[in-house]
Amino acid sequence: MSLVALKNFLFRIPSSSPREGVIKLPLPPSGTSSIAERRASHASTEATIVDLESQEPPRRGFQVTARILSDATIGLSDGLTVPFALTAGLSALGDTKVVIYGGLAELMAGAISMGLGGYLGAKSEIASYHETLAQTTTLATTHPTTTASTIRSVLSPYDLPPDLLSSVTAHLAASPKRIDFLMRFQHCAEPPASSRALTSALTIALAYFLGGLLPLVPYFCIGSGEGKLYEALVVSVGVMAVALFVFGYVKTGVVVGWEGARAVRKAVFGGVQMVLVGGAAAGAAMGLVKAFDVGVGEGMALRV
């Protein structure tokens, strides 16, 4: 009974709205005492919760999770900024082929590097989870008193009645699920998927590649020739300004929401911020390449 109350308190599972397939217990007769009525009520609540848990559809196949969205955001944010800055900087050399080849080389190397970083990071998280699980298992197996104290400290902030808190603590401390409880509520750790590392690597690498391919498209389409490089640069800057603004707007809107003038202002500010960051990076790269080109040219002229 204490576990039912705890589930209702923590997860807000309604027990008064039956669903199809829920076990319904017959109502007690009018002459039944209040104690029997309470027992029937608690039994009905437990049966309802068990039925609700058993009817939850199993998660199968690929699902777009918050982690995948986070990895895609990381890949896109770098992919929309770094290759754009590089292509803008290389355009100062005045050769379209240098821009295209240099941009493609950076795009592939950056995607591989970002993907490997995501893979290794996910592997570290998986190793950390298993190490925490091993330590928690050892604690729960060899130190039952410490385990009970830890469970009580986890439940104490929820302002449970003292009797209920003691009852739930004692039950969980002796339950086989105590390790799962500690992993979820004390360490806030969910079991990682076996494919997390590979999924993270592919998501980050693909997002980086697609984002970095945008500034190169105008150079492919416009081609090379006299005056073509400057035209391609202008088109690339325009395309990236729109892409960076949309990315920043959507990324901020997902966090703050879409309704209300305040949310719109924050989303617009996020879009403008991304444009300014990308533009500053591209301008700095272009200026530095131009300065190096001039410096190298003057140095070679002095040697001659």
Least confident interval from 32-41, 184-193, 232-241: 32-41
- Which pTM does this prediction carry? 0.69
Residue owning tokens 């209040």: 34
Q: Using CA atoms, how far apart are residues 95 and 118, in angstroms rounded to an integer?
A: 34
- Say if 36 falls within a structural domain: yes
82 in a domain, yes or no? no
Position 34 in a domain: yes
Task: Report the range of poorest mean pLDDT among 42-56, 65-79, 156-170, 281-295.
Answer: 42-56
Band the pLDDT of 245: cuts 50, 70, 90: very high
Question: By CB neighbour count within 10 A (0-12 exposed, 13-18 middle, 19+ buried), where does 283 fall?
Answer: middle
Residue 85 dihedral angles phi and psi, to the nearest 5°: -65, -40
Residue 40 forms part of a structural domain: yes
Helices (H), the chain: 2-11, 34-55, 66-79, 82-90, 96-142, 144-155, 162-174, 178-181, 196-213, 217-222, 228-256, 261-303
Tokens 């984002």 — which residue? Answer: 211
Closest C-alpha among 234, 284, 238, 229 to residue 99: 229
Does residue 213 form part of some domain?
no
Mean pLDDT of 9-18: 44
Distance between CA atoms of residues 241 and 282, nearest Å? 11
Question: Quick check: is 152 in a domain?
Answer: no
- Report the C-alpha gap between 83 and 106 in whole angstroms: 7
Asked if 6 and 160 touch (Cβ cutoff 8 Å), the reply is yes
Total domains present in the chain: 1
Say yes or no to pLDDT of 17 above 50: no
- Taking only the tens place, the pLDDT of each residue in 136-169 is 999 999 999 999 999 999 999 988 899 999 999 9
In a domain, 275, yes or no: no
Domain assignment present for 13 = yes
Domain extent, residue 13, equals 1-52
Judged against a pLDDT cut of 50, whether residue 69 lies above it is answered with yes
